[in-house]
């Protein structure tokens, strides 16, 4: 399965049929260059955490940009700032801190989160997002928090990635001026197997 098919299938499995106008507006306003982005709501470490994780979930390939290249970390930061209620904002930050604590466990010689090796991030994603139901039942309270936070982060990242302008117009099936309606046709015939873009 290629990257485009994987993104399409993940997005469909998340059940995002339509995007809230507020979230779409936030997403389309994200345009900061990845190297100069500074979080407006999250701490610097939390922003770094999200950037490294979403780039492992949606890495750059020969035919598609990485998550950070289409401003997904910036979107998640602004989404939390502009749409979360204060209690949800507080909980979101606490959840991210729990992930950071798990990531930096036994890393006493590492001064900053940015110095954590990418392999440690990858191991974190593998431990939680590829865990079996039996393994999940054995998770302690903090591990359950990490698991749920990573699942939610993946969900937000994939949805925002599929909804971004570049991906919508260049990777998904995009037709700014749709023609006549055709019923009961095969998906491969209609869009070469690709999900429709939400761009208009």
Q: Which tens digits make up the pLDDT trace of 10-41?
A: 444 444 443 444 554 555 555 555 557 799 99
Q: Which tens digits make up the pLDDT trace of 137-174?
A: 999 999 999 999 999 999 999 888 877 766 555 655 44
Categorize the per-residue pLDDT at 1 as very low, low, confident or very high, splitting at 50, 70 and 90.
Answer: very low
Rounded CA-CA distance 106/113 in Å is 13
Q: What angle do CA 196, 197, 199 make, to 5 degrees?
A: 145
Asked if residue 191 has pLDDT above 80, the reply is: no
Among residues 85, 93, 81, the alpha carbon closest in space to that of 45 is found at: 93
DSSP state of 68: G
- The owner of tokens 């599929």 is 162
What is the mean pLDDT of the segment spanning 86-104? 95
Asked if residue 59 has pLDDT above 80, the reply is: yes
DSSP sequence for 112-126: SGGGS-HHHHHHHHH
Predicted structure pTM score? 0.72
Per residue, what are the HEC states of 13-51? Answer: HHCCCCCCHHHHHHHHHCCCCHHHCCCCCCCHHHHHHHH
Categorize the per-residue pLDDT at 7 as very low, low, confident or very high, splitting at 50, 70 and 90.
Answer: very low
What does the mean pLDDT of the chain come to?
77
């Amino acid at each position: 399965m290629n990257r485009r098919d994987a993104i399409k299938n993940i997005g469909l499995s998340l059940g995002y049929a339509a995007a809230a106008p507020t979230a779409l507006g936030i997403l389309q306003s994200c345009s900061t260059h990845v190297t100069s982005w500074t979080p407006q709501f999250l701490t610097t470490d939390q922003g770094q955490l999200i950037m490294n994780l979403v780039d492992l979930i949606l890495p750059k390939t020969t035919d598609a940009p990485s998550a950070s290249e289409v401003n997904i970390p910036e979107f998640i930061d602004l989404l939390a700032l502009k749409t979360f209620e204060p209690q949800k904002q507080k909980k979101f930050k606490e959840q991210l801190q729990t992930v950071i604590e798990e990531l930096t466990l036994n890393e006493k010689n590492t001064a900053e989160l940015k110095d954590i090796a990418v392999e440690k991030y990858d191991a974190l994603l593998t431990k939680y997002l590829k865990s079996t139901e039996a393994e999940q039942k054995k998770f302690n309270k903090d591990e359950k928090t990490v698991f749920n936070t990573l699942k939610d982060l993946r969900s937000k990242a994939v949805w925002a990635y599929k909804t971004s302008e570049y991906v919508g117009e260049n990777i998904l099936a995009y037709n700014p001026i749709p023609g006549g309606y055709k019923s009961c046709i095969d998906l491969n015939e209609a869009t070469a197997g690709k999900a429709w873009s939400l761009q208009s």
